[in-house]
Copies of this chain bind each other. A is one copy, B any other.
């Protein structure tokens, strides 16, 4: 058995509208989802929190961004920074630069 590999360029076709983000699923298998997220001066809505049932790993590949947490803290991320967001770690996107590019890995629930 030698299934064929797949290839891509992370930034290819990564266009988000001003203030928003665009998600592309690169791989979904065995309960794991690998996503490319393009953000363009994006922020989660005021008062919104991601509260996810499973751990997420995220790498900021390009740009800058701030992740907010419900203790009021904010983590500034620059290209090359990664974060592990455990299940039910409430977080939001506080802000991103114009062309932020993320790789996100959602673990099985």
Residues of A within 8 A of B (CB): 1-11, 26-27, 29-32, 34, 54-55, 57, 59, 61, 67, 69-71, 75, 77, 80-91, 103, 105, 107-108
Closest 6 CB pairs of A and B: A3-B86, A6-B84, A30-B108, A1-B88, A10-B80, A30-B107
Q: Which residues of B contact A81 (CB under 8 A)?
A: 7-10
Contact (Cβ within 8 A) A5 B108: no
How near does chain B come to A88, taking the closest CB pair, in angstroms?
A: 5
Assembly stoichiometry (copies): 2
Q: How far is the CA of A29 from the CA of B108 in the complex (A)?
A: 9
Q: How far is the CA of A77 from the CA of B7 in the complex (A)?
A: 9
